[in-house]
Amino acid sequence: MSIKLLRDKIDEIDKSLIILLGKRIQLVKDIGKIKFQQGLSIYDPNRETLMFNTLYKEAEKIGISTNLIKNIFYYIIRESYLYEKINH
């Protein structure tokens, strides 16, 4: 397989990741509305801990560095809190 073909496949995966992030953000916005209606806090440390533990286990199963997952999801989660705050 050529480098170009492999890079094209990576580009397609990157596009898919962006689409999935968009779907995730929409769900986050919906959760933010519900939290606002119910008077719940945006930040839920127990949920965050559970998420990271689950993500780390999944990453380890397929040989992905948990540091990579930590860094990526740190930013995704922080951005999610912003979307929850501004979209209620």
Tell me, what CATH number does 70's domain have?
Answer: 1.20.59.10
What lies within 8 Å, CB to CB, of 65 at 6+ separation is 59
Q: Is pLDDT of 8 > 70? A: yes
Report pTM.
0.87
29-70 pLDDT, tens digit each: 999 999 999 999 999 999 999 999 999 999 999 999 999 999
pLDDT at site 87: 66
Please state, in angstroms and as integers, the Cα–Cα distance from residue 53 to each residue in 45, 60, 69, 71, 86, following that order: 12, 11, 11, 14, 27
Task: Please provide the average confidence, as pLDDT, over all residues in the chain.
Answer: 95
Domain that holds residue 71: 3-86
pLDDT at site 86: 82
Q: Is pLDDT of 27 > 70? A: yes
| Domain count within the chain | 1
